[in-house]
């Protein structure tokens, strides 16, 4: 692990991140010297218009892609130049993902959906049910829904299952990519309040990616990306 130039309370540190894509002779730069940090226990939104570069930032933070230059550290570890297998380990152990499309196994019970990441992480079988139950309670899903198949739930309930699945391995960050995009306004507010409670009452670090200003406003701090550059850091 490399902790040089990173404050002890920083869980995310991006320094001079550039991202360049090349297709044949065409070179396109989508991020330009982007630098910011997020402290443990913060609730931060990263926002910007379509094509601003926020999705590329999300992919780098989520260890789904690597910067062309610059450094990215997560929970004290420099992940900028890791191999694909090492990035997969980071995704499995350090990041809890919540996606717009939920990404649940449709014909699998709620409980099993939340237990699966523990199987992949090789958590002992005897501990899995207890950890999954704890995560589902934290996400606010009523216990009478736990044996339902995920495709028998409402959109809001499915997103709570997705949040529980993100929590279950106790990751360094919860990375939520447009988590209200498939929900009506009222249900979206309930999901956002769930994130807020997890942050305020349980201390989870939340990074919310959104193009909607009213959704970003639920966070305590907003990082604004425009044309691949850090436009504001409120």
In a domain, 52, yes or no: yes
pLDDT for 6: 53
Total domains in the chain come to 1
Sign of the CA dihedral with 176 first, then 209, 33, and 5 last: negative
In a domain, 3, yes or no: no
Backbone angles phi, psi at 39, to 5 degrees: -85, 155
The reply to whether 167 falls in a domain is yes
Q: Residue 40 and residue 207: Cα distance in Å, rounded?
A: 11
- CATH code, domain carrying 81: 3.40.50.300
- Residue 183 within a domain: yes
For the entire predicted model, the pTM comes to: 0.90
What is the structure's pLDDT at 159? Answer: 95
Res 220: pLDDT:
96
Q: 53 and 46 in contact (C-beta within 8 Å)?
A: no
Neighbour-count burial for 35-68, b at 16+ CB within 10 Å, e otherwise: ebbbebebbbbbbbeeebbbbbbbbbbbbbbbbe
| Mean pLDDT (10-residue bins), the chain, 234 residues | 57 96 94 96 95 94 94 92 89 93 93 94 93 96 95 94 96 95 93 95 96 95 95 62
Tell me what pLDDT residue 4 has.
Answer: 44
Q: Which domain holds residue 148?
A: 10-233
What pLDDT does 82 receive?
87
Residue 4 belongs to a domain: no
pLDDT value at position 1? 37
Q: Is 94 helix (H, G, I), strand (E, B) or coil?
A: helix
Query: Quick check: is 157 in a domain?
Result: yes
What is the pLDDT, as a whole number, of residue 3? 41
In a domain, 88, yes or no: yes
- For residue 74, the number of C-alpha atoms closer than 13 Å in the C-beta half-sphere is 26
Query: Do residues 209 and 58 make contact, with C-beta atoms less than 8 angstroms apart?
Result: yes
Structural domain contains residue 221:
yes
């Amino acid at each position: 692990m490399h902790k040089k130039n990173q404050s002890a309370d920083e869980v995310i540190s991006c320094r001079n991140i550039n991202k360049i894509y090349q297709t044949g002779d065409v070179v396109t730069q989508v991020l330009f010297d982007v630098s910011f940090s997020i402290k443990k226990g913060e609730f931060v939104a990263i926002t910007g218009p379509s094509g601003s570069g926020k999705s590329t930032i999300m992919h780098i933070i989520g260890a789904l892609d690597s910067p062309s230059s610059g450094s990215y550290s997560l929970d004290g570890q420099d992940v900028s130049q890791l191999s694909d297998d090492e990035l997969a380990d980071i995704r499995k152990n350090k990041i809890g993902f919540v996606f717009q499309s939920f990404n649940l196994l449709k014909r699998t019970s709620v409980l099993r959906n939340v237990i699966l990441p523990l199987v992949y992480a090789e958590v002992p079988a005897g501990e899995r049910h207890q950890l999954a139950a704890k995560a589902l309670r934290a996400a606010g899903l009523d216990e009478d829904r736990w044996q339902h198949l995920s495709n028998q739930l409402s959109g809001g309930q499915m997103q709570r299952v997705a949040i529980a699945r993100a929590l279950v391995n106790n990751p360094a960050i919860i990375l939520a990519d447009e988590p209200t995009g498939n929900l009506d306004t009222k249900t979206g507010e309930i999901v956002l309040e769930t994130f807020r409670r997890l942050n305020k009452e349980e201390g989870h670090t939340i990074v919310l990616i959104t193009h909607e200003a009213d959704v970003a406003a639920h966070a305590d701090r907003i990082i604004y990306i425009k044309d691949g550059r850090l436009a504001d850091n409120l």
